[in-house]
C-alpha cells in the first residue's frame, strides 16, 4: 500500500529542502526546480513538504515582490528547523555510512 | 487538465481545510504553474509536471493533520469506527467460543463497573438539587436543569471514554497500535520509520514486562479483578447448592438402580434421573473450571451437553408414557384392619365434635361406644384420644409404631411392578355407637352450642370537627370526619366518654360489638355508632391514616 520508495524519497527530500533553505531563503518554484534536479520526484509533492515543515515551525515565510512578476513567498529556516536539520543530517550520514559499508562488504565477497 | 481545472479540483479536495489555508495552497500552485508558463510551457504541460493529483492531495492533507476542520474529525472518527468494526470482526472470527464467552462476560463486567461509577455522579447531582432548592428562587429549577445536564453529560462522556479505553487496553492493543502507526504514516520520512521502530520496541518491552510482572495493574484492572472475584464467589456459592443437588440426585439414582434391579419397569424415569445427575456434574465442572481459571475443553463439554439433551429428551418421552400407564389408586394399600374401642359416659351437656359415623345401638343407654377402624400396618397402634372442647369432646387419635419395614417396602415394589401406586391417606374410620335417645340429646346440645357469639373490639380514628350540647345532659353531639373518605356525620356520644374531647383534634374511638348478633354491612360512621357500643375515646396525634384494628375480645 505504501510505496516504500516514495516514502524513502520523501524522507530524503525533507533533508534536502532543509539544507537548501538553510543556505539561502528561497521561494517555492526555485526550490522545486533545484530539488527536482537532484532527486527524481514529481514537482507537485514538494510543496506539501514545505507546507508541513512550515506548519511544524521549521520554516517561516515572508513575501517579496519580484522584478519579473508575481509576489513570491520566501521560506526561511528557523532555529528549530536548524536543529532538526542537524539531527536529520547526522542520522542520514550514519545511515548512508552503514549502508555503504554493507554494500562494499557484500560486493567484495562476490 | 488546464490551470483552472486543476485549481478547482484541488480546492474541492481540500474543502476540509480552513479557507485561509486553502487559498494559500491554491495561490502557491497557481504561482508554480504561472512560472512554468512564463518559461514557455503550456498550462496542461505545467499541470502534468506537478505529478499525480491524488498524491498531491494526500500529501497536502497529511501536512495539515493539525489544522483540519471539525468535519474531518468526524470523518476520522467514522473511519476509526469502521476500521475498529473490521478489526473486531476479524478478531472474533479468529477466536474460539471460549474467548468469545470471555469477551461477552467482560463486556458485561465493564458495563457493571460503569454503572457503579454512576453513584458519585448521582451524589453530586443530589447535592446540586439540595443547594438549588434551598435557594428557593423561581429560576433554581433552570439552574438545576443545567446542573444535571452537565453532570449527566460528563458521566456519559466518562462512561464512553472508560469503555473504549478498557476495551482497547484489553482486546485491541494491536488495533490501537495499528491506528497509531497509521497516524505515524502520515508523518512522512525518516521520522515515521523512527516512530515505528520505537513503537515496535515499546510493544516488545510491553510484552516482556507483561510476562514478567502480570500483577502490575491499573485501577480499572484492579476493579475488574475485584468484580471477577466477586462473581467467582457467587459462582462458588451456587456450586455448593449444585453439590447438594448432586448428592440428592445420586441417592435418587441409586434408588432407581435398585428398583431397576428389582424389576420395576420405569426406565424413562431412570434415564431422566441420569440426565439430571449428568447435568449437575456438567454444571459443577463448568463452575469449578470458571472459579479456578482452568481451560474448558469445548469438545468435551459439547459432547456432554449433547448426551444430556438426548438422554433427557428420550427419558422425558419414555417416562411420560410410563406415568400415563401407571394407575394411581387413592386407597389404602393394606386391606387388613384393626379396631380399637372406648366408652364415654353420657351427661346432660355432652357434645361430640368431629366427623364420625353414628350407628344406633339401643342397648347402650347411658354410654356411647367409640370404635376406630384403621389399616393394619405392622405394629401400628392407634389410641382413642378425646380432646376436651366446649363442654364436650373432639374425637381425636394418636398413632404410634407406624414403621416402614421390608414387608411394606416389598408391597410397594410389587405394586410398582404392576404399575400401581397407592396414595394412602391413612384414614381412620370413626364409628360411634349410641341409642336413639342419646343421639337426639347430642343433636340438641350441639345446636344450642352452635354459633356462640363473639365480642369484637375495633378502633377507628376520627377527626372531631364540632361539639354540641344535646337536650339530654348525659349526651353530646360530636361531628366527626373519617380520614381519606371525606365522610362527615354527627353522632350522639355519652358525655362521660367525651368529657376530654376538644374540637379540631383527632381521637381514637374504640367500639365493641357482638358477632354474629351485630353485623356491619355498610361501615358508615352512622352505622358504626348505631350498631356498636362505644367504650372509649382517646386522644391521638396519628393523622392521615384510617386506624382500624379488629380483634375478638378475649374471654376475661
Yes or no, beta carbons of A14 and B189 under 8 Å apart: yes
d(CA A55, CA A45): 16
Query: pLDDT grade, residue B171 (50/70/90)?
Result: low
Flag whether residue A101 sits within 8 Å of chain B, measured between CB atoms: no
CB environment B270-281: b (16+ within 10 A), e (fewer)? bbbbbbbbbbbb
Q: What does the block give as the cell for B212?
A: 514478567
Which whole number is the average pLDDT over B146-159?
Answer: 82
Contact status, residue A32 vs residue A43, Cβ threshold 8 Å:
yes
Residue of B nearest to A74 (CA): B28
Is residue B72 pLDDT above 60, yes or no? no
Look at the block and give the residue holding cell 381425636: B396
**The three three-digit cell numbers of residue B220, written as one number:** 480499572
Q: How many CB atoms lie within 10 A of CB B373?
A: 16
Question: Which grid coordinates belong to B517?
Answer: 348478633
Q: Is the pLDDT of residue B350 over 60?
A: yes
Pick from A18-22, B288-292, B528-532: least confident? B288-292
Average pLDDT over residues B376-386: 79
pLDDT at residue B317, as a whole number: 92
Would you call B66 an interface residue with chain A, using a CB distance cutoff of 8 Å?
Answer: yes
pLDDT at B203 over 60: no
Taking a C-beta distance cutoff of 8 angstroms, is the pair B362, B436 a contact?
Answer: yes
In this predicted structure, what is the pLDDT of residue B313? Answer: 92
Q: What are the C-alpha distances in Å from B225 to residues B116, B162, B214, B292, B508?
A: 15, 16, 13, 14, 59
Position B164 pLDDT exceeds 50? yes
Q: Please, what's the largest Cα pairwise distance for chain A?
A: 58
Q: In whole numbers, what is the pLDDT of chain B averaged over residues?
A: 76
Question: Residues of B with CB below 8 A from A44's CB?
Answer: 29, 49-53, 55-56
Q: Does residue A94 belong to the interface with chain B, where contact is any CB pair within 8 Å?
A: no
Per DSSP, the three-state class of A13 is helix
- Kindly state the average pLDDT of the residues B231-244: 83
Question: So what's the pLDDT on residue B155?
Answer: 83
Task: Provide the chain A residues 13-52 that lie in CB contact (below 8 A) with chain B.
Answer: 13-14, 28-29, 32, 41-45, 47-49, 51-52
Asked if pLDDT for residue B191 goes beyond 50, the answer is no
In chain A, where are the structural domains located? 4-109
Determine the Cα–Cα distance for residues B377 and B380; give it in Å rounded to an integer: 6
Tell me which CATH code domain A4-109 carries. 1.10.10.10
Q: Give phi and psi for A108, each to the nearest 5.
A: -60, -45
Q: Which of chain B's residues have a Cβ under 8 Å away from the Cβ of A68?
A: 38
**Greatest mean pLDDT range, B57-66, B122-131, B166-175, B261-270:** B261-270
Q: Is the pTM of this model over 0.95?
A: no
What is the predicted pLDDT for the residue at B77? Answer: 64
Partner-chain contact B31 A45, CB within 8 Å: no
| Beta carbons within 8 Å of B516's beta carbon, 6+ residues apart | B451, B453
CB-CB neighbors (< 8 A) of B38 in chain A: 68-69
Query: And the C-alpha cell for B475?
Result: 349526651
The residues spanned by each domain of chain B are 3-68, 221-325, 337-404+416-449, 454-552
Q: In what order do the strands lie in the sheet with A71-77?
A: A26-27, A71-77, A59-65
Inter-chain contact B52–A51, Cβ cutoff 8 Å?
A: no
- In the DSSP assignment, the letter for residue B483 is S
Cα first-last separation, chain B: 117
| pLDDT tops 70 at residue B188 | no
What is d(CA A58, CA A39) in angstroms, rounded to the nearest whole number?
A: 22
Decide: residue A95, CB within 10 A, 0-12 exposed, 13-18 middle, 19+ buried: middle
Residue B310 has what pLDDT? 92
| Residue B94 distance to chain A (closest CA, Å) | 24
Chain A residues with CB-CB distance to B46 below 8 A: none
**DSSP string of B192-230?**
HHHHHHHHHHHHHHHHHHHHH-TT---HHHHHHHHHHHH
Domain B454-552: CATH architecture, name and number where available: Beta Barrel (2.40)
Q: pLDDT digits over B11-40, tens only? A: 888 887 788 888 888 888 888 888 888 888
Pairing type for strands A71-77 and A26-27 reads: antiparallel
The better pLDDT of the pair A90, B388 is held by A90
Beta pairing, strands B429-434 & B357-360: parallel
Q: Do B192 and A70 lie within an 8 Å CB cutoff?
A: no
**H-run or E-run covering B275:** helix B267-291
pLDDT in tens, A40-81: 777 777 888 888 888 888 998 888 877 766 678 889 999 988
Window from A15-29, B144-158, B219-233, B494-508 with minimum mean pLDDT: B219-233
Between the alpha carbon of residue B533 and those of residues A23, B32, B457, B481, B553, the distances in Å are 119, 114, 9, 19, 13
Q: Is A67 on the interface with B (CB under 8 A)?
A: no
Q: Where are the beta strands (DSSP E) in B390-482?
A: 392-400, 420-422, 429-434, 454-469, 475-482
- What pLDDT band is residue B221 in, cutting at 50, 70 and 90? low
Q: What residues of chain A lie within 8 A of the CB of B28, using their CB?
A: 28, 47, 73
- Residue B93 Rama label (left phi>0; alpha psi -120 to 50; beta): alpha
Angle at B253 between CA B251 and CA B256, to 5 degrees: 115
More confident residue, B7 or B400: B7
Amino acid at each position: 500500500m505504501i510505496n516504500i520508495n516514495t516514502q524513502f524519497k520523501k524522507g530524503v527530500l525533507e533533508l534536502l529542502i532543509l539544507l537548501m533553505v538553510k543556505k539561502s531563503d528561497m521561494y517555492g518554484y526555485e526550490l522545486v526546480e533545484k530539488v527536482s534536479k537532484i532527486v527524481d520526484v514529481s514537482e507537485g509533492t514538494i510543496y506539501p513538504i514545505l507546507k508541513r515543515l512550515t506548519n511544524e515551525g521549521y520554516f517561516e515565510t515572508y513575501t517579496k515582490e519580484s522584478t519579473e512578476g508575481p509576489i513570491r513567498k520566501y521560506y526561511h529556516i528557523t532555529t528549530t528547523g536548524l536543529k532538526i536539520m542537524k539531527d536529520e543530517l547526522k542520522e542520514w550520514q550514519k545511515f548512508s555510512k552503514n549502508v555503504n559499508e554493507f554494500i562494499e562488504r557484500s560486493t567484495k565477497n562476490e | 487538465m488546464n490551470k483552472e481545472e486543476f485549481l478547482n479540483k484541488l480546492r474541492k479536495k481540500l474543502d476540509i481545510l480552513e479557507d485561509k489555508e486553502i487559498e494559500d495552497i491554491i495561490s502557491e500552485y497557481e504561482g508554480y504553474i504561472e512560472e512554468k508558463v512564463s518559461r514557455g510551457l503550456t498550462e496542461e504541460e505545467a499541470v502534468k509536471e506537478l505529478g499525480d493529483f491524488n498524491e498531491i492531495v494526500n500529501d497536502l492533507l497529511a501536512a495539515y493533520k493539525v489544522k483540519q476542520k471539525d468535519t474531518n474529525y468526524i470523518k476520522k472518527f467514522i473511519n476509526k469506527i469502521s476500521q475498529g468494526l473490521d478489526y473486531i470482526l476479524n478478531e472474533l472470527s479468529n477466536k474460539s467460543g471460549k474467548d468469545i464467552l470471555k469477551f461477552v462476560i467482560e463486556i458485561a463486567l465493564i458495563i457493571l463497573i460503569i454503572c457503579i461509577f454512576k453513584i458519585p455522579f448521582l451524589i453530586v447531582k443530589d447535592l446540586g438539587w439540595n443547594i438549588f432548592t434551598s435557594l428557593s428562587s423561581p429560576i433554581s429549577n433552570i439552574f438545576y436543569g443545567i446542573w444535571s445536564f452537565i453532570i449527566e453529560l460528563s458521566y456519559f462522556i466518562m462512561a464512553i471514554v472508560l469503555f473504549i479505553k478498557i476495551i482497547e487496553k484489553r482486546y485491541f492493543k494491536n488495533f490501537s497500535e495499528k491506528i497509531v502507526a497509521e497516524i505515524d504514516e502520515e508523518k512522512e520520512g525518516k521520522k515515521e520509520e523512527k516512530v515505528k521502530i520505537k513503537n515496535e520496541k515499546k510493544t516488545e518491552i510491553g510484552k516482556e514486562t507483561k510476562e514478567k510482572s502480570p500483577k502490575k495493574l491499573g485501577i480499572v484492572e484492579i476493579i475488574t479483578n475485584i468484580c471477577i472475584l466477586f462473581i467467582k464467589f457467587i459462582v462458588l456459592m451456587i456450586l455448593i447448592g449444585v453439590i447438594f443437588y448432586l448428592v440428592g440426585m445420586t441417592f435418587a439414582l441409586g434408588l432407581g438402580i435398585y428398583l431397576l434391579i428389582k424389576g420395576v419397569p420405569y426406565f424413562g424415569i431412570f434415564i431422566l434421573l441420569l440426565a439430571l445427575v449428568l447435568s449437575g456434574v456438567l454444571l459443577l465442572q463448568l463452575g469449578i473450571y470458571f472459579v479456578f481459571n482452568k481451560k474448558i475443553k469445548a469438545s468435551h463439554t459439547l459432547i456432554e451437553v449433547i448426551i444430556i439433551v438426548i438422554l433427557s429428551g428420550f427419558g422425558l418421552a419414555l417416562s411420560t408414557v410410563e406415568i400415563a400407564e401407571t394407575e394411581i389408586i387413592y386407597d389404602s394399600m393394606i386391606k387388613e384392619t384393626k379396631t380399637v374401642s372406648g366408652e364415654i359416659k353420657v351427661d346432660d351437656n355432652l357434645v361430640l365434635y368431629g366427623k364420625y359415623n353414628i350407628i344406633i345401638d339401643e342397648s347402650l343407654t347411658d354410654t356411647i361406644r367409640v370404635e376406630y377402624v384403621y389399616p393394619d400396618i405392622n405394629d401400628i397402634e392407634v389410641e382413642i384420644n378425646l380432646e376436651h372442647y366446649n363442654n364436650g369432646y373432639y374425637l381425636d387419635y394418636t398413632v404410634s409404631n407406624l414403621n416402614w419395614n421390608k414387608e411394606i417396602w416389598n408391597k410397594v415394589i410389587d405394586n410398582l411392578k404392576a404399575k400401581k401406586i397407592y396414595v394412602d391417606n391413612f384414614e381412620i374410620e370413626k364409628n360411634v355407637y349410641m341409642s336413639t335417645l342419646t343421639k337426639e340429646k347430642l343433636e340438641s346440645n350441639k345446636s344450642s352450642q352452635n354459633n356462640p357469639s363473639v365480642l369484637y373490639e375495633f378502633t377507628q380514628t376520627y377527626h372531631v370537627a364540632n361539639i354540641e350540647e344535646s337536650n339530654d345532659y348525659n349526651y353530646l353531639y360530636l361531628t366527626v370526619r373519617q380520614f381519606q373518605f371525606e365522610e362527615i356525620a354527627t353522632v350522639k356520644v355519652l358525655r362521660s366518654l367525651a368529657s376530654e374531647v376538644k374540637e379540631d383534634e383527632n381521637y381514637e374511638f374504640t367500639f365493641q360489638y357482638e358477632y354474629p348478633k351485630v353485623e356491619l354491612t355498610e361501615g358508615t360512621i352512622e352505622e358504626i355508632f348505631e350498631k356498636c357500643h362505644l367504650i372509649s375515646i382517646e386522644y391521638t396525634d396519628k393523622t392521615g391514616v384510617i386506624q382500624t384494628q379488629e380483634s375478638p375480645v378475649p374471654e376475661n
